[in-house]
Amino acid sequence: MILDIHGKKIVFGMQWRTLTGSSTPSALAAGIAREVRAARIWHEDNALHMGYLSPADAQAKIKDRLYSAAAAISSVPELVPNALFAFRLEPPGAAPLYLVCGIVKGRPRVGFDQVLHDEATLATLVRDFATRCDGDFKLLGNTPELLPLMPQDRRITHVPYTLDMLVTAAGPAAVLKRPSATTQRKRMMILTLAAVLAALGWKYGKAEYEAYQRRLHPPPPQKTPAERYAEDIAQRGTARIALAATAMPAWGRWFINDVPLNVGGWKLGSVSCAGLATPATLCKLTYTLPPAMRGATNQTFLEAMTDWFAEPKFASGDTSVEVTAQVKLGEASRLSDVLELLPRAMALRSEFGSRLQTLRPAAGTAVLSELGVFGTLPPEGATVIAHPVLSAPWEVSGPMRNISEFRSFPPSATVDVIEAAVDLDATPDLKQSKFMLTVKGTAYARD
């Protein structure tokens, strides 16, 4: 499917192939292009994968440049190595479509660049991606409702991502090229290089020429495992985050001051915020229609809802409705700000762990899990890194009246998920309230 977005032709639903064989990657890609009679392909440098248009798109006569959506996503450092882009597209006067691109280890995953027409197929593909991708990944797009389909034992976060953002990311690295032009340029380069080699070989001889080339183009110094690990951490440091000590009080003020408990006869049931990031994050609010309520309808909700509610979706036989809201959490901050000054592992365990212990008498859960190495370790293992960054998940659940306690959380603790459940008929006690809160995040340290 080729979409024209602000003048750029973006391609979804491409065919992807892994390159295997004894020839060079460029030759293998050109061979597949001849086999499938592809007019344009995606391939660059020594990549061991290539992509080409689906049969339907290959029939279209388009003179403009074409950009692969999957290649564009895989070129954005903060989105890789693993990401699943799922976007609900609602064409005027037509049924909705789902644009999907799966990226695993920085490259488009075969079989996961698709255009789908129904939610059942989308759910099956999402579950299949989670089994094919055995690590953490980001869910991109405008479908955070897919998160419950993901494995709960892995760190999978939703990152809002629009088609406008995709167009911005679609640069030269995502352009589809004509195989013939690519092969011709490489053939000319080979012929030119052969002529130069022949001339220099006649003058210097083979051994002298090789020595000359080594002096002229010395091999680049090999990066140490520590340098490769540092680059990985620096790349991860560009991600936007929310500090628990500042974001939680801001979220609490928004909930207390702005969120209505009753909208046109509908009662607030829950609030869910995932993938928290400053300066603002997206939250989902669910309102339910009490069985005994008379006079409350879908219309009364729409007429009474506040201006900052968006995307109302009625479900469960029109007995519940979900809306979204942008919540301001404070000034923008990135993970690199947290990683600059980290406590030692024992200090984090002693101070932050003790802080969570003091909350347990008044909370259902307050726990700091075991620390592990953060980031991608080099093949040589953890022992070659002198001072790796460590991270551990933490979780606090209990009555919302304890929300002020988050102000004392250390600057090395970020918050990732906030879930609030509202039951106005509940009987409050020490660990029970009409407003129950579950907060999950990550704490960082370095030895």
Q: Each residue of 5-37: pLDDT tens digit?
A: 988 999 999 999 988 888 888 888 888 999 999
* Cα–Cα distance measured from residue 213 to residue 137, given in angstroms and rounded to the nearest whole number: 43
* Cα–Cα distance measured from residue 361 to residue 303, given in angstroms and rounded to the nearest whole number: 43
Nearest one of 47, 8, 53 to 24, comparing CA atoms: 47
The last residue of one of the domains, among 142, 174, 206, is 174
Helices 206-216 and 179-204, packing angle to 10 deg: 120
Check whether 352 has a pLDDT greater than 90: yes
Domain assignment of residue 224, yes or no: no
Q: To the nearest whole percent, how much of the chain has pLDDT over 70? A: 94
How much is the pLDDT for 293? 85
* Cα–Cα distance measured from residue 321 to residue 232, given in angstroms and rounded to the nearest whole number: 42
* Residue pointed to by tokens 């009625």: 314
Q: What angle do CA 114, 119, 120 make, to 5 degrees?
A: 95
Question: Mapping DSSP to helix (H, G, I), strand (E, B) and coil, where does residue 81 land?
Answer: coil
The last residue of one of the domains, among 196, 216, 236, is 216
How much is the pLDDT for 184? 47
Q: Same domain, yes or no, for 75 and 187? A: no
Domain assignment of residue 157, yes or no: yes
The last residue of one of the domains, among 112, 146, 174, is 174
Q: Same domain, yes or no, for 202 and 248? A: no
Lookup: tokens for 257: 């001051």
Q: Same domain, yes or no, for 348 and 416? A: yes
Q: Same domain, yes or no, for 166 and 284? A: no
Q: Flag whether the pTM goes above 0.75.
A: no
Q: Same domain, yes or no, for 97 and 194? A: no
* Cα–Cα distance measured from residue 53 to residue 41, given in angstroms and rounded to the nearest whole number: 7
Domain assignment of residue 422, yes or no: yes
**Residue 87: its H or E element:** strand 83-89
- What pLDDT band is residue 447 in, cutting at 50, 70 and 90? confident
* Cα–Cα distance measured from residue 236 to residue 82, given in angstroms and rounded to the nearest whole number: 12
Domain assignment of residue 225, yes or no: no
Structural domain of residue 249, as residue ranges?
244-446
Q: Is the dihedral of CA 289, 294, 299, 304 positive or negative?
A: negative
Q: Same domain, yes or no, for 196 and 342? A: no
Q: Same domain, yes or no, for 184 and 89? A: no
- Beta bridge partners, 284, equal 272, 324
Lookup: tokens for 224: 């140490």
Domain assignment of residue 393, yes or no: yes
- The one-character DSSP state at 43 is -
* Cα–Cα distance measured from residue 121 to residue 371, given in angstroms and rounded to the nearest whole number: 38
* Residue pointed to by tokens 């250390």: 410
- What pLDDT band is residue 427 in, cutting at 50, 70 and 90? confident
* Cα–Cα distance measured from residue 66 to residue 10, given in angstroms and rounded to the nearest whole number: 6
Check whether 190 has a pLDDT greater than 70: no
Strand ranges (DSSP E) for 164-265? 262-263
Q: Same domain, yes or no, for 144 and 262? A: no
Query: How many independent structural domains does the chain possess?
Result: 3
Mean of per-residue pLDDT scores for the chain: 89
* Cα–Cα distance measured from residue 191 to residue 220, given in angstroms and rounded to the nearest whole number: 26
Question: Mapping DSSP to helix (H, G, I), strand (E, B) and coil, where does residue 292 land?
Answer: coil
320 phi/psi in degrees, rounded to 5: -145, 155
* Cα–Cα distance measured from residue 228 to residue 377, given in angstroms and rounded to the nearest whole number: 9
User: Residue range 114-118: average pLDDT?
Assistant: 93
User: Residue range 47-74: average pLDDT?
Assistant: 89
Domain assignment of residue 308, yes or no: yes
Check whether 131 has a pLDDT greater than 90: no
Q: Same domain, yes or no, for 192 and 305? A: no
Q: Same domain, yes or no, for 199 and 128? A: no
What does the CA dihedral 26, 32, 38, 43 come to, rounded to 10 degrees?
-30
Contacts of 76 (CB under 8 A, 6+ apart): 169
Of 103-117, 151-165, 200-214, 353-367, the poorest mean pLDDT is in 200-214
Lookup: tokens for 108: 């488009």
Asked if 347 contacts 298 with a C-beta cutoff of 8 angstroms, the reply is no
Q: Same domain, yes or no, for 125 and 168? A: yes
Check whether 204 has a pLDDT greater than 70: no
Lookup: tokens for 418: 């906030």
Check whether 187 has a pLDDT greater than 80: no
Question: Mapping DSSP to helix (H, G, I), strand (E, B) and coil, where does residue 419 land?
Answer: strand
Domain assignment of residue 306, yes or no: yes
Q: Is the dihedral of CA 260, 261, 265, 270 positive or negative?
A: positive
Q: Same domain, yes or no, for 160 and 34? A: yes
Of 213-227, 356-370, 374-388, the poorest mean pLDDT is in 213-227
Domain assignment of residue 51, yes or no: yes
